[in-house]
């Protein structure tokens, strides 16, 4: 997932895996800290997330879980972020994200910090369903956990 | 409640009543249309609300119900609002709000539109608990419904 200057209103097609072994020279890859927290989360998975990725703040609304989900994301000013962030107290997580180009795709590795230290997952976003189905995971990927609540950010943040 | 240029991080102290009879010459009072919708609502009442009040767009995060609640609200740009608003489909309401100065307080009358036509409530916000307790409702107020889910905006929007 990329946060940029445009607002995003698309459906995501993505898969998530545990990571057996971190790729070599990971620290040389592009990476940045992410802090995120949840303002509200419905039992069905619909939620509103605040995120600071490097210096970029955003608010995202998501519906659904698994390989398909709808997402709407907007950039927030530092002031907007500062006003809303306290509302996520007790529902936050921190991680470092590494970007690993892989064939024509981008693998994002999330190394969790704080109370979730030790959890490492990889996410891959696909341009279409065919690419999603045909994807062959690299050898260093572990078990697939797409759509598993156990490894959803919402769930981890609320633990 | 007033939306203004500042972000707001305060607790609200307010009471809500049904309206037996609309005050005379209501149309001459300051009034404006409000459209609002909910991005996510937790069973305990915590929610994220989008609102357009006249031309002013905002996003509010609220926790709790009744006379006490915590609220954080930020102004949104038209672009931010347009990106997020579709996420409230099926969870919206429309009303016209009238502002009636009353002694040192402000009474806000909400006349609901659309599927909630016929519902009319008055809200009064107080500077402190003493003023809240001592408040004597004007004769045209009906039954008090403070904290009643039946007349919460969240509930009406989701009906």
pLDDT one-digit tens code per residue, A129-149: 999 999 999 999 999 999 888
* Subunit contact B72:A63, Cβ cutoff 8 A: no
So what's the pLDDT on residue A143? 96
* Those residues with Cβ within 8 angstroms of residue B78's Cβ, 6 or more apart along the chain or in another chain: B57
Q: Which of A37, A39, A158 to mutate to test the interface with B (most CBs of B within 10 A)?
A: A39
Chain CA centroid to CA A98, Å: 11
* Subunit contact B7:A48, Cβ cutoff 8 A: no
* Subunit contact B72:A84, Cβ cutoff 8 A: yes
From CA A120, how far away is CA B35, in angstroms rounded? 42
Any B CB within 8 A of A63 CB: yes
So what's the pLDDT on residue B1? 39
* Those residues with Cβ within 8 angstroms of residue A138's Cβ, 6 or more apart along the chain or in another chain: A102, A107
For residue range A90-117, what is the model confidence (pLDDT) as tens digits? 999 999 999 999 999 999 999 999 988 9
Share of chain A above pLDDT 70, in %: 90
Task: Flag whether pLDDT at A121 surpasses 90.
Answer: yes
Chain CA centroid to CA A109, Å: 9
Report helix, strand or coil for A55. coil
* Those residues with Cβ within 8 angstroms of residue B14's Cβ, 6 or more apart along the chain or in another chain: B1, B67, B123, B124, B125, B126, B132, B146
- The kind and range of the H/E element at B113 are none
For residue range A49-101, what is the model confidence (pLDDT) as tens digits? 999 999 999 999 998 765 567 889 999 999 999 999 999 999 999 999 999 99
Which stretches of chain B drop beneath a pLDDT of 70?
A: 1-11, 65-68
Task: Flag whether pLDDT at A10 surpasses 70.
Answer: no
A70 CB neighbours in chain B (<8 A) are 87
Strand partners, B41: B47
Any B CB within 8 A of A86 CB: yes
| Token representation of residue B89 | 């489909």
Average pLDDT over chain A reads 88
- β-strand pairing of A68-76 with B92-102: unpaired
Task: Flag whether pLDDT at A15 surpasses 60.
Answer: yes
A74 CB neighbours in chain B (<8 A) are 76, 79-80, 83-84
Residue of A32, A38, A98, A151 marked active site:
A38
Asked whether the CA dihedral A10, A16, A19, A23 is positive or negative, the reply is negative
Chain B residue closest to A77 (CA)? Answer: B76
So what's the pLDDT on residue A65? 62
Chain A residue closest to B60 (CA)? Answer: A84
Catalytic residue status for B151: no
* Subunit contact B86:A9, Cβ cutoff 8 A: yes
Cα three-residue angle A9-B35-B77, rounded to 5 degrees: 50
Cα–Cα nearest to A37, from B90, B35, B76, B72: B72
* Subunit contact B73:A87, Cβ cutoff 8 A: no
């Amino acid at each position: 997932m990329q946060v940029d200057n445009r607002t995003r209103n698309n459906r995501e097609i993505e898969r998530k895996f545990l990571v057996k072994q971190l790729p070599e020279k990971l620290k040389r890859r592009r990476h940045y800290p992410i802090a995120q927290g949840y303002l509200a989360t419905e039992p069905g998975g619909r939620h509103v997330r605040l995120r600071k990725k490097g210096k970029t703040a955003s608010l995202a609304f998501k519906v659904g879980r698994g390989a398909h989900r709808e997402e709407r994301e907007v950039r927030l000013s530092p002031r907007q972020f500062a006003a809303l962030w306290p509302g996520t107290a007790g529902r936050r997580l921190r991680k470092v994200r590494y970007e690993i180009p892989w064939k024509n795709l981008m693998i994002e590795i999330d190394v969790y910090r704080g109370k979730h230290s030790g959890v490492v997952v990889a996410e891959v976003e696909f341009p279409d369903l065919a690419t999603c189905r045909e994807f062959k995971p690299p050898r260093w990927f572990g078990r697939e956990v797409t759509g598993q609540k156990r490894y959803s950010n919402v769930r981890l943040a609320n633990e």
